Amino acid sequence: MTVLDTKKVSKDLLERLHYTSVEDAGLSMLHLSCMAKISEYKSDDERYEKKYKSSFAEFSKKINQQMNEEDFEEEDDLLAWQYAHDARTYWENKLQELNTCC
């Protein structure tokens, strides 16, 4: 495909998808990607909340206060939950940045 054909296809697609520019389409894609990440990590958060019947903060405090007790499943879940919790917060902040800049 030549450069002229690419520009024509891009313009046609942008118009049909109701975007005003490539930048507009890119920002929309970034917004949707952030929302997908938030949804993914929110789902993980909710799964652990349901499994342990507590919030991340409560569960973390419980595990960190345990002395002379080891539950490898809970400790592994805490690490995975921490990752999901931090990742969700990260993507929520990025979405907020994206919303304020555009």
Helix axes 22-52, 72-101, angle to 10 degrees: 150
The number of residues in the chain equals 102
Residue 9 pLDDT level (bands cut at 50, 70, 90) = low
pLDDT of residue 76: 96
Residue 89 pLDDT level (bands cut at 50, 70, 90) = very high
Q: Measure the CA–CA gap between 68 and 52, rounded to whole angstroms.
A: 20
Single pTM value for the model: 0.79
Distances (CA, A) of 51 to 26, 47, 70, 74, 77: 38, 6, 18, 10, 10
Residue 3 pLDDT level (bands cut at 50, 70, 90) = low
Tell me: the pLDDT tens digits for 38-71? Answer: 999 999 999 999 999 999 999 999 998 887 888 8
R_g over Cα of the chain: 21
pLDDT of residue 4: 52
